[in-house]
Amino acid sequence: MSRNRTSPMVMLFALVGAMPLLAGAAGLAGLLLQRADFGILVWGLVPLLGLLAVAAVLGVILGKAAGGRRDRRDKREESRKPQE
């Protein structure tokens, strides 16, 4: 039974397209934290760590939606089967 999977390239382009928006949001959050008189560790690191966390979660979600490792493992197992 085959599953409907979205092309991995579509998911890659979705991730690449989302990154500038996420970086802009992190920059805006950093600016707002700086203007609210938080220290450099807060306005410098919190948006960066938040951006990295969101990018990692989005990458995992899009990777699973694109097929993840499951498809590659299935192909390897099929190639190991003796041909009749």
84 domain-assigned: no
- 73 band by pLDDT with thresholds 50, 70 and 90: low
State residue 28's pLDDT score: 96
Q: What is the pLDDT of residues 7-24, one digit of tens each?
A: 778 888 888 899 999 999
Measured in whole angstroms, how far is the alpha carbon of residue 36 from the centre of its chain?
Answer: 30
Longest CA–CA separation in the chain, Å: 72
Q: Which of 5-14, 20-29, 57-66 has the largest mean confidence?
A: 20-29
> What confidence score (pLDDT) does residue 51 get?
94
Q: Which residue in 65, 69, 71 sits closest to 14, CA to CA?
A: 65
* Assigned token pair, 45: 């690191």
Domain range for residue 24? Answer: 8-69
- The answer as to whether 19 is a domain residue is yes
Provide the pLDDT for residue 8: 76
In a domain, residue 82? The reply is: no
Give how far Cα 58 sits from Cα of 28, 30, 31, 64, Å.
20, 21, 24, 10
Tell me how many domains the chain contains: 1
Are 18 and 70 contacting, i.e. CB atoms less than 8 angstroms apart?
Answer: no
pLDDT at 49: 95
Selected residue with higher pLDDT from 14 and 71: 14
